[in-house]
């Protein structure tokens, strides 16, 4: 396995990548710099209105569908009749299976959103299952008024307010086994807020952690640590099979062992950050 280093505001963590024969083009290196443009207020307008946005994604009348010119999973953009909560959404038809060296599934997009809700993460936009033109896939909220880290030059914003978001990003990716986090699927919200997209390759059966870490967010870690297999199956069983759920619990257990080791060496106050 190749290892790629991504420099984030809290320090450097390592990403386990696929073999060179399977690996897509390398994303831009992520570095901490001040002054990165951010989104306008309200880019996370679904928070507190999740059920409303889910119903919209399921029922909105689609007027036309266009291919999205970026994205290796070939997403589409569905434009809907005016007057609703949004003018369009992403549509992914990826049926579960291994493609181009990766396992991919539209169901993983929905599982990432449902897990985000369980954890109170508020980083993953709403995603639901629906059918368009006879094809079943994931309808995912299109985020307006934001730019990705890639679009801002591949450099992460610096400062303490972004460190907390970075810790949460890393913890979430470790939990879901996400092999595909890159500069193009981290959107910049208002200061201190990331919006995470493109999770069709997540929830793999691989039990290894994707990122080496030194710190965790206290509140999110409490919620992750308290997850039981029953909790996960109840929330995600529609979208994930038992193998994927078991692998996620094992990754959580590996995270717990790593946190315990860090706490023993450095002390809880240096590792578990409020």
Looking at residue 72, its pLDDT comes to 64
What pLDDT is stored for residue 71 in this prediction?
62
pTM confidence score: 0.84
Domain boundaries, the chain: 2-273
Q: Residue 95 has what pLDDT?
A: 84
C-alpha dihedral sign at 46, 151, 89, 106: negative
CA gap 181, 175 in Å, rounded: 13
How many CA within 13 A on the CB side of residue 65? 16
In this prediction, residue 41 has a pLDDT band, given cuts at 50, 70 and 90, of low
In angstroms, the CA 15 to CA 93 distance is 27
pLDDT above 60 for 240 = yes
145-188 per-position pLDDT tens digit:
899 999 988 888 888 889 999 999 999 999 999 999 999 999 99
pLDDT digits (tens, 9 = 90+) for 53-90: 999 999 999 999 999 877 666 799 999 999 999 999 99
Distances from the Cα of 128 to the Cα of 28, 57, 90, 111, 252, angstroms: 30, 7, 11, 9, 25
């Amino acid at each position: 396995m190749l290892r790629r280093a991504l420099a984030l505001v809290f320090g450097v963590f390592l990403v386990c990548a696929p073999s060179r024969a399977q690996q897509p083009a390398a994303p831009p290196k992520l570095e901490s710099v001040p002054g990165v443009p951010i989104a306008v207020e309200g880019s996370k307008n679904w928070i507190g209105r999740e059920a409303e946005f889910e119903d919209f994604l399921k029922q909105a009348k689609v007027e036309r569908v266009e291919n999205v010119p970026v994205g290796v999973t070939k997403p589409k953009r569905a434009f809907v009749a005016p007057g609703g909560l949004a003018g369009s959404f992403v549509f992914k038809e990826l049926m579960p299976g291994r493609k181009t060296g990766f396992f991919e599934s539209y169901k993983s997009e929905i599982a990432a959103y449902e897990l985000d809700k369980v954890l109170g993460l508020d980083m993953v936009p709403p995603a639901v299952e629906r059918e368009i033109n006879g094809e079943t896939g994931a309808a995912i909220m299109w985020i307006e008024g934001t730019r990705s880290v890639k679009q801002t030059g591949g450099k992460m914003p610096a400062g303490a307010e972004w460190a907390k978001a970075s810790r949460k990003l890393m913890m979430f990716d470790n939990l879901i086994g996400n092999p595909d986090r890159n500069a193009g699927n981290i959107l910049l919200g208002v200061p201190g807020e990331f919006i995470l997209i493109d999770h069709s390759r997540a929830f793999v059966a691989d039990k290894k952690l994707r990122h080496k870490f030194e710190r965790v967010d206290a509140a999110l870690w409490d919620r992750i640590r308290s997850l039981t297999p029953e909790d996960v199956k109840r929330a995600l069983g529609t979208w994930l099979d038992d193998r994927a759920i078991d692998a996620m619990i094992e990754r959580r257990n590996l995270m717990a062992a790593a946190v315990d080791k860090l706490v023993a060496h450095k002390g809880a106050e240096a590792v578990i950050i409020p």
